[in-house]
Structure 1
Amino acid sequence: MPQTKESDNNRRSRRGSGAITLRDVAKLAGVAPITASRVLNTPEAVSVDVRQKVLDAVQKTGYVPNRMAGGLASSRSRLIAAVVPSTVMSVFMETIESLNGTLFDAGYQLMLGQSSYSASREESLLEAIIGRRPDGIFLTGILHSNKGRTRLLASGIPVVETWDLTPAPIDMLVGFSHADIGRDVAKYLLSKGRRRLAMIRADDERADRRAKAFAGEVAQSGLVDVPVRVINVGASRSIRSGRDALGQLLELDPAVDAVFCSSDLLASGVVTEARVRGIDVPGRLSIIGFGDAPFVADMEPALSTVHINGADIGRIAAQRLIDRAEGREVLERVVDVGYSIVERDTT
């Protein structure tokens, strides 16, 4: 009986199926598997021409050698690898804790790597992770290099991307729309009567999408006469950066009356600088952050922010990776956990 597309998808959903092997590389290069192995392990023992053919095949297929012992390659490692941008005062901590707890309760261990918002560092981490063949890989965000994406697809390892949405995930996805957040925060501030809006943001792609959607919504509203001012603080996400950014913003537009920050730390800096300058918050200036970090509700004034249910993201992602590792089919590959705007004293 011919195999249907649906049955083929089911077959590929099982852990390890569809993975590119050394035999596939050898076939593409037109050499024996043992020759391909020599190229990867003892390249000096192979001619330059043959070596190049095999390396070209590796590049085309995205193959990453299995660093585990050959006898263990078909066994489950009970290890899940995660790559996150940051772990220091991080909005991702709730997700990491929930991910780790759910995995631990199911008998799995979590291996954590920090990319520091660097695409090149993320790529290096992924190469090291794939080579060790964990039972699953947890990623923060969806924008990975073409090389990294090719390697992930070629590995056959279950992957869950998080903290974002895309119609074309690598495998599974648990997240929310950053563009929708930008638009909804703009609508919220406009509904409060604010007419000179600004954004203070760090230099990362997800913050960029929130900023563009925020500015676009303000422009389309027809309620303001000036464009949204945007201060980019680069890689820094500190309270000091927020303080400095508000100073820059006030030089550009002394009449600014609302600021959307790409993180709660930046927003905390803006609140601090506003108080130092004697600016009434929220009477003169509304401030809203992103992430709903545990400390912001206890600030004075308490910070309005965008709440993300990081615990749900970690729990759902962990369960999907466990299901795939144990051969169970995951029917709902994309989960939108949504978000909410939390109104506190600063708005």
Structure 2
Amino acid sequence: MKMPEISPICAVKPTDARAARNNSMKSKGQGGRGATVHDVAKLANVSIATVSRVLNKPDTVNKEMSERVLQAAAQLGYTTNSAGKALRLARTRTIGTLLPRLDDPIFSELAHGIQETLFAQDYAGFLQTSGYDNTKIFDAALRLFNRGAEGLLVFGRVEDDRLLEFIAKNPIPVLQVYSYLEGHPLPSVGIDNARCTRKIAELMLQFGHTHVALISGPTQGNDRQQSRLDTYEKIMRDNGLETIVQVVQPGYTINDGGMAFRRIMEQNPKVTSVMCNTDLLACGVLSECRKLGIEVPKQLSVSGFEDVSFAPLLYQPLTTLSVPAGDIGRHAARAMIANLEHGESLTSMQFEASLILRDSVAVAPKASGRAA
């Protein structure tokens, strides 16, 4: 089996794990010593007991109080004893992973690659779901650190300012996975979403489609969907074509893809091609086409993104981008372990995604609008 093509792009400043853990002792609280629970309580103007409840039983504390304590902890660079021990060489051999959710096949595939690699290297893995919005992942990340995670793998781009500030103050290695993010201060391992979207869009144009719509997942704090949407819009504009977009809400399902497609056809009946930013959305479009009596690909071409396991099994096998999510996860886990064990650099790496042409895409109908 041919391994996916990967190419080293840029080296990130080495993170010496042992030195990092030693340097963590330099994190200062009051009086030049390491920050303590007393410091956090004083800064947040709460009791020590309240700090303990926020960090260990957050469900028992109201939101306003919890945010005050977490903000104070982040400002002081405070972590609870379990994380502190990990940073002071009392190793937990545990790595945390933040995923949007677990019921999407692409997230499960990447998580499986990570977990099997950690298990093989005698490491444990904590999986924490954090939603699609990566501007709001600090609390989830802190929970992993407080339970002893020595390193963190984050699905997509880290956009949470509180987490970036915390990372700057604490020598905990962090690697962004799934998306390759050139120019970001943190290293990343994954695909170039813009480049992948261009492959699909150019295929549609080569097949003569001039009314091309896009169905996207949520874009707030979601670099994958935002990059794909931006690329689609640029290509359509560059070719003098209309942009036709439907963005579904967080927590979307296959059914949401179908409903978004129905709205597209009601507003733009001349559409002959629909690009979907995930295979789940594309599955919903194909299902809706059967209900509406639209023939795929004779009347409408449909594409997905990610090539999940069911993509070739649909009633019209789905044209899509094949993302090597499992390989990305395995590579990320190996890189994190090498950093923690040997101080090796966390280095950005770009993986290639292959365009898989199947029966759901064909040449555009010759008549204006869909064929009769």
**TM-score, normalization by structure 2:** 0.79
Q: CA separation in 2, counterparts of 1:34 and 1:160?
A: 26
- 1:341 corresponds to 2:370: no
Moved more, 166-175 or 309-318: 166-175
Q: Is the 8 A contact 1:164 1:175 kept in 2?
A: yes
Q: Is the 8 A contact 1:78 1:109 kept in 2?
A: yes
Letter in 1 for 2:38: R
- In the TM superposition, what whole-angstrom CA distance separates every residue of 1:131-173 from its partner, at most 9, and x where no partner exists? 2342221110013211111112322122111111223445432
- 1:92 corresponds to 2:107: yes
Aligned-CA RMSD value: 2.7
Pair 1:82–1:320, CA change in 2 (3 A): same
Q: CA separation in 2, counterparts of 1:285 and 1:247?
A: 13
Percent of pairs with identical residues: 25
Q: CA separation in 2, counterparts of 1:343 and 1:110?
A: 36
Q: Is the 8 A contact 2:275 2:303 kept in 1?
A: yes
- 1:242 corresponds to 2:257: yes
Moved more, 180-189 or 64-73: 64-73
Alignment of 1:12-27 (within 5 A): 12-15=15-18, 17=20, 21=24, 24-26=27-29
Letter in 1 for 2:238: Q
- 1:114 corresponds to 2:124: no
Pair 1:260–1:23, CA change in 2 (3 A): same
Alignment of 1:105-144 (within 5 A): 105-119=120-134, 122-144=137-159
Report how far residue 236 of structure 1 moved: 4.0
Pair 1:215–1:168, CA change in 2 (3 A): closer
Higher relative contact order structure (alpha carbons within 8 Å, sequence separation ≥ 6): 2
1:178 aligned residue: 193
Pair 1:242–1:34, CA change in 2 (3 A): closer
Pair 1:44–1:219, CA change in 2 (3 A): closer
- 1:219 corresponds to 2:237: yes
Q: CA separation in 2, counterparts of 1:118 and 1:318?
A: 23
Pair 1:60–1:39, CA change in 2 (3 A): closer
Alignment of 1:194-343 (within 5 A): 194-204=209-219, 205=222, 206-222=224-240, 224=241, 227-330=242-345, 333-343=347-357
The secondary structure found in structure 2 opposite 1:92 is helix
The secondary structure found in structure 1 opposite 2:189 is strand
Structure 1 residues not aligned, in runs of 5+: 1-8, 46-53
Q: Is the 8 A contact 1:80 1:109 kept in 2?
A: yes
Q: CA separation in 2, counterparts of 1:34 and 1:256?
A: 62
Q: Is the 8 A contact 2:83 2:150 kept in 1?
A: no
Q: Is the 8 A contact 2:215 2:274 kept in 1?
A: yes
Q: Is the 8 A contact 1:20 1:154 kept in 2?
A: no
Q: CA separation in 2, counterparts of 1:99 and 1:287?
A: 31
**Where does structure 1 differ by over 4 angstroms across 4 or more consecutive aligned residues?**
18-23, 34-37, 41-45, 54-61, 69-72
Pair 1:182–1:242, CA change in 2 (3 A): same
Q: CA separation in 2, counterparts of 1:55 and 1:116?
A: 19
The secondary structure found in structure 1 opposite 2:180 is coil
Q: Is the 8 A contact 2:28 2:34 kept in 1?
A: no
Q: CA separation in 2, counterparts of 1:170 and 1:19?
A: 22
Pair 1:218–1:75, CA change in 2 (3 A): same
Q: CA separation in 2, counterparts of 1:55 and 1:263?
A: 35
Q: CA separation in 1, counterparts of 2:36 and 2:311?
A: 56
- In the TM superposition, what whole-angstrom CA distance separates every residue of 1:192-230 from its partner, at most 9, and x where no partner exists? 1111000011113321220110121122124x4xx1200
Q: CA separation in 1, counterparts of 2:335 and 2:190?
A: 13
Report how far residue 263 of structure 1 moved: 1.1
1:33 aligned residue: 33
| Count of residues paired in the alignment | 322
Pair 1:164–1:293, CA change in 2 (3 A): same
Letter in 1 for 2:191: F
